[in-house]
């Protein structure tokens, strides 16, 4: 039986500037991910989608 082709994953890399280091971004993402039983990747992708949706509505 033939396998279904897997969708190709698109990748991005995120750099957190030193100026934002005091915001504890990674620690906060880990904590929230654990609380919601979601990966950091899931949380970041959801945040990006919400941001794009919001900004695109503004025009």
Would you say residue 5 has pLDDT above 90?
no
pTM, to two decimals = 0.78
DSSP string of the chain, one letter each residue: -PPPPPPPPP-------GGGGGG-HHHHHHHHHHHHT--HHHHHHHHHHHHHHHHHHH-
Structural domain boundaries of the chain?
20-58
Q: pLDDT digit string (tens) for 20-34?
A: 999 999 999 999 999
């Amino acid at each position: 039986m033939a396998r279904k082709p897997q969708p190709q994953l698109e990748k991005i890399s995120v750099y957190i500037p030193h100026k934002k280091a005091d915001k504890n971004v990674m620690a906060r993402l880990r904590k929230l991910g654990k609380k919601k039983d979601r990966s950091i990747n899931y949380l970041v992708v959801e945040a990006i989608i919400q941001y794009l949706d919001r900004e695109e509505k503004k025009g």
